[in-house]
Structure 1
């Protein structure tokens, strides 16, 4: 701004112009040095840093105890608060046109004081948190909102909020003057910074949309890949956890089309045949109205159910969701896409809804053309499938290439032959090397031509797929795998003609993969047997087992993990069939239902030549492997017991809320000792006793199981006697110096068994 005019003799000061702008440089309340210091700190900062510095300055010079900036999005009609005081909010507070505060600020052009009744709960909580962090004793009472205008602007660029400022007229005028003077010269900087960051995020999302179009167009002939890419891109664009796709047929939404028979969720068999009537639930309401629905579990209207049966199928809790239509040409709703669980945010924003309209049109067009192409190219695809089988024997094997690789020098596994082995003594990183060494020790790597580098990658992928659960985690899988190896190697199941080599190989793979991606869903086991503890070991309708089977097959088909690439076609089919059966056999609900069948097998002579007898035997063996913790020394079981408690109690949270299962009150911990007694007497001990009648050498585990049962009976009696409810202290003190049992010679069949179910002290 120039305050001078030029003439023939040079430049002279224009006093009139200077007088007109005299008010622009007058500071009534602010200290010039403080303002200059503030402006210097605002250079080359992000919007979050700008707000932090401005808030700190306003907290220091005004009467407000806390401050924040409420600005408006340039893309959608939405108010945003990203910083309160020095606290950067995650997620941000977003105000829509339905929010009373947003409507109030739009209708005012001057400063206004708003009490807490008109403020969002999230804003009140964040301000109170900031007040508490700065040791202010009082809670939020009111907020003074001051509008900040830019040059030539008729609407505020943003609003500055002062929390708990003094309410007298003189103090309010002083606060307004300080805010106006501090923001007058930086309003353009703040506005441009906000626009830059918003446009930058907008361009990033546009790039993701373009990338989605490009990637999907390359795989439009493959429905499975297209479906996975659409879900992956939608989760990336909307920053969410899950995505579901449904097509509209007649008056319903389906996950499998009737005409083409194509499922849209390839990861879960339980979701293959979902049918949602139009108008039912949030997803059905989108199909009926053709409009976007976005909500959270805290915004239930009472007219539409938020948590549908899909939550029970998927095993996940839906925190928030957004469902939007997928139109195609003249069809307003060709399908519906639902994204759920926004990452690090409470709900989906108006910006997400804007991109959803664009992405919905893209997905609808791609799905329509993909299904149409699938129908027209069915004959060609069948021909390709036939050719793939015919040409399989002509492809070059990778055995000659991977023979150059040698097995790594890995830890000795001599101790893993022992029934008293403690898997907890093995470092988690060493477990992968131990498993590879076990495969090598059994000559499986050489016999089936497994590339060591692919076996290593396969095991690492399986390990990574295990969830961080209290009990059903990678440690449990490693315990089962070591126990299976010990049975095979020590008791010579192949040499003594109990199982075939290929059955042993499949059993080891099944034990290794039977809990892949298991997330801890509860089972229907209690409804069948009434035993509460055994519900840990089974799942509703074997849903998780079917999912583990699918994940195992996908991993085996991955080129980087194809450990079966060098086996023959017959062996390949046989191994996959065995893995399918053996993973299903890990469900103890089915295991105990087959007890009477095992009795028939024991009643007759075991015939190694009969496949039916071998199938029953490996099902019994796998059931015992799943319960291996109770056939190990007490030191191991004592270490695992707290994890079992935590797993069981964690799984009971949802059934209590849903009212699906009628569990007794197990929050009273002394009942857990009784549960272990019941589990040992009704499941573990009978299973091992039946197994030792077929394989006599396995009877060496019976004393260990009975000693563990004796320990639990003693714990139960001690709790009853001392009337204590702290079972963990009993576990850690009562048996602190107890010596571990050692296996004894096989017990004779006519050995007298003690009645451990009565709970007598030994």
Structure 2
């Protein structure tokens, strides 16, 4: 039975009907089922044995084509093995006589080879890496069949092709080999899902000679078998080439049996691997979608927070501090509770709210949403964004920037500064690439991974209907602003800045040309970079505290890199980093050149360059001080907060450069910080608030209208009871600090107090915003006429 199956498929000819070879030699006149005309073959096919494999019935036409186009046994040998089963025949082909059966009886007595379970266990272990699994399968198949080479083709259902990516005896230049299903021996096996044993590859009509030409390999004989999983789906095709046994004419019956059993192991292992890969891809897509979501977008901004910003009038910059408009003022000193209000003030002070008809509620929601988008990392957080925006606001108020940049460019700069580090993870671009994070996979080809993510987050927020402060812009203006924001945020990448530093230097040398678009671009990039580094242009105490936060982030990244086996940079290694030395190198290479070029283009910013130079001297003095002390101090950051060491450093600098020491030690009196409103000229409110708390509360707070609702026109005192309980989703605004609100009691003449009461009463009765600044009043025409 087996021998007849072996030779029956090779004796079908498409040209002339004939008897089997065994019949011709014996002279037996018994007709064979294969002895018929061509017409009879088409109309009434020969007698086929029952096939138990379901895919066989679906591919009968292909099997007939194989039989009709095949040569004789002497040409290329018995080729088709649809199933290898001794008890139940499942092969394709007509029956043959006993003479032919006896000619190949040696193959039928071989027992089915046993495959060790350890092989399957080894394959399962490699299921997380398809390449390693394919290599293991190929090596195992070659070892047990004594084949010279093995190839494993996986099915690409989308393109209906077989794909091989791993080769053992191929040209190294070939990275991938694709064969259409139905072409060549491999394609025929994939289409019919049957085993094919080719004794002479050159005489086989299905042999795909182009593969040998591409790989440079000489194929003699082939054993090709389908790999089908438990569900009946085709996973791939295995191809063994060139039996290496002595006096071998090709692969034996034993090899066929082994291939059949081995294919089931391969199918399950590869199916597991492909399924695991799909799970990983789905997880990556899900993670990518999560990464692309706006940080904090799942949180609901508390309506109470929005109302607090809406009902509180837009303030003049003096509301936060008398020195708030000084380049050397550290904006974090006003308190985090005032960052949102001050951010809204930037738009109002520069005239954007009026010029572009920005909705105040949307501006409030935008500022709150941006702050919610920042993570609680040591340095790249919401306070850093506010400090950067404050420096940019100071630049935008200068006459040089007003004349050099357009209003849309200035608006773009303010928005970009607030959003430039949104959703920062506290790591660098290089770490993102090394860790192969979803962000790196998404943006690695373009470079500036984190900066592009910051821009994507910014656009997502601006597209929210409740944050769309640009809704009144024309289409062209809107596109211009988004394009400017993109270029400005990308400019915060220091690597990108270094690439265009020479162009900025050339612009400074030849002078700024307002008619040049390139100069506009370079100037906005320079302002953004300087704003991002502006913490180092304050006093030395502020520079030290900010440096501590920066190196906390660096050291945390260094610890992560050490865990994954990557050697961190010296400045990120907490055991090796010496902060003063690293800061000096940074100021020499980046800080000083940036602020020097900025001071030459914008003369009002020259004080920032002087502050950078003063801090450079202080960092050098601190370096010498730490080096002369116990070496153990270098391993921690506590010396950055040591006031005694700071005084020694300042005194050491004073010996060589008194002016630099004065700049580095300059600190502002914060008595009018944290929401106190000084007067424009006489500071009449300074020092009186605590003594006359109740009168001012009674004058300014009540709203004498018909509905008797409380209208917090001028909230000089903390709001004791919130109108609405803060939601659990997000409470972004802190309640004002009672201890920091009231000033020290100081006696003043009663005449000044009367003037203060008269001013407060007149403002409460005639002004919608209750701001003591005449140029910041929001007075309607009706109220103005009544007050007149």
The TM tier, using the shorter chain, reads 0.3 to 0.5
Q: Which has the higher contact order (CA 8 A, sep 6+)?
A: 2
The structure in which a higher percent of residues are strand is 1
TM-score, L = length of structure 2: 0.41
Q: Which has more radius of gyration? A: 2
